[in-house]
Homo-oligomer: A and B are copies of this chain.
Amino acid sequence: MTELPISLDLIAERNAVHAEALEEDYAALGRKLSRTGIDIDAIKERVAGFSVAVPSWGAGRGGTRFAKFPIAGEPTNIHEKLEDCAVIQQLSRVTPRVSPHFPWDKVNDYKALREEAAALGLGWDAVNSNTFQDQVGQAHTYANGSLAAQDAATRQQAVDHNIECIEIGRQLGSTDLTVWVGDGTNFPGQQDLGRSLDRYLEAASKIYAALPDDWRMLLEHKMFEPAFYSTVISDWGSSILAAQELGPKAKCLVDLGHHAPNVNIEQIVARLHRFGKLGGFHFNDSKYGDDDLDSGSINPHQLFLVFNELVEAELNPRDGFNPSYMIDQSHNVTDPIESMLSSAETITQCFAKAQLVDREALHAAQEANDTMMAFQALRRAYNVDVAPILAKARVEAGGAIDVLEAYRLSQYRSRKAQERKAVGLGAGIV
């Protein structure tokens, strides 16, 4: 087995420093929770069972059309990205799977890649196709769309690429294909809004037909960007109707940053679940658009409310409950490893807080139209500082009590800065 990237001694040493404080805080929280009938160890077990995937591309520094500012030691290929993801998993113990993106992560030998990941303690999550960019040597441009393109050969090329992604995913052990397309328009009239959806559905159904029996096709909607007047799968309504047309293996994926301003995302989660089409999440946060900021950095309460819906959905599964969780952020100003460590922590906190809601009290208040007490049932859980629960679960799984501290002390990035080749300036496109 490959050596894990962070020294076990370092982790152990730092955990020893923090152990006493953790025990004290965990015990105090345990007493507090026990007063309302909650067993902290049971919550800790649920937290220990939670996980969220990280995207291979998230290991690199992100940017905007204006610029990308690289950092020393950035990964430039899937092997280096895997190593970085292994750091996140080693320290946090909640990110055991990596979601690859093709053709960005193409290699010659996927069996070897799967083994390489396994040696680092990593498995594989949903496979992501890319038909929003042209690759060198590509036969047909995606300048005018991909799955919804006017040109049949372009659509077929996009279908073929997605089917190739499924094939790669099978070799890696994935069971989900996530399909996000940039197709859309910048001008009224540019495309017929009805016929472009027809073309999308026709092409998507060819991909759907190639899905193995145990796979799902996750449709990811987005309101705007890169298209700025219309996008073919712009909202959850378009997404679920498309998923209905495609069939039972097609589900909807919710990226938290892909909605119109002010939209109630937790209700969208409830709606998708209600109609049997909740497929998964791309976690991030935003203030303005698809800002791809760190999960919960802007509105952690919204993230909690999403998890509250997920707990309700699990308790009331209707047509099943099996959402896929992934972080999807653009780390423009931080070390991507640090952002994913911090984000995984925040996501898990929201998961844990949602577990703490007194659902009996909540449902009783709802049934009695006791608005204030229903709200308080959520708010009391949200206000709990669950950090000790997460830290305890983490340390028991071999992770670090203070993940950022351990990472910084490891000097992982500066070591990589010496090993890895430098990344050039992102010139900006504007």
Which residues does A use to contact B, with CB under 8 Å?
A: 21, 24-25, 28-29, 31-32, 35, 57, 62-69, 132-136, 141-144, 150-151, 182, 185-195, 197-198, 223-226, 228-230, 234-238, 240-241, 259-264, 266-268, 270-271, 273-275, 286-289, 291-294, 297-302, 305, 308-309, 312-313, 316, 318, 330, 332-335, 338-339, 342, 349, 362-363, 365-369, 371-379, 382-385, 387, 404, 425-430
| Residue of B133, B151, B223, B224 touching A427 (CB-CB under 8 A) | B133
**Alpha-carbon separation in the docked complex, A375 to B421 (Å):** 29
Contact B293 A189 (CB under 8 A): no
Chain B residues, Cβ within 8 Å of A382 = 300
Chain B residues, Cβ within 8 Å of A236 = 237
Contact A377 B224 (CB under 8 A): no
Contact A28 B24 (CB under 8 A): yes
Contact B374 A190 (CB under 8 A): yes
**Alpha-carbon separation in the docked complex, A157 to B189 (Å):** 46
Q: List 5 A-B contacts (CB under 8 A).
A: A21-B32, A67-B132, A230-B267, A334-B372, A349-B383
**Alpha-carbon separation in the docked complex, A309 to B188 (Å):** 11
Q: Closest CB-CB distance, A281 to chain B, in whole Å? A: 17
Contact B429 A189 (CB under 8 A): no
Contact A367 B64 (CB under 8 A): no
Chain B residues, Cβ within 8 Å of A363 = 192
Known: A150-B367, A228-B287. A238 touches B271 (CB 8 A): yes
Contact B288 A224 (CB under 8 A): yes
| Residue of B228, B237, B267 touching A271 (CB-CB under 8 A) | B237
Among A237, A425, A427: residue with most chain B CB under 10 A: A237
Contact B378 A387 (CB under 8 A): no
Known: A192-B366, A288-B225. A64 touches B374 (CB 8 A): no
Known: A226-B66, A298-B301. A333 touches B428 (CB 8 A): no
Contact B287 A194 (CB under 8 A): no
| Residue of B267, B312, B330 touching A430 (CB-CB under 8 A) | B330
Chain B residues, Cβ within 8 Å of A298 = 188, 229, 301
**Alpha-carbon separation in the docked complex, A38 to B236 (Å):** 40
Contact B228 A65 (CB under 8 A): no
Contact A143 B301 (CB under 8 A): no
Contact B144 A369 (CB under 8 A): yes
Known: A189-B377, A309-B193, A366-B189. A338 touches B372 (CB 8 A): yes
The residue of chain B having its C-beta at the shortest distance from the C-beta of A104 within the complex is B430
Q: Closest CB-CB distance, A261 to chain B, in whole Å? A: 4
Nearest first, the 8 closest Cβ-Cβ pairs linking A and B are: A237-B237, A28-B28, A260-B260, A228-B291, A69-B143, A193-B270, A63-B429, A64-B226
Q: Closest CB-CB distance, A52 to chain B, in whole Å? A: 18
Q: Closest CB-CB distance, A414 to chain B, in whole Å? A: 15
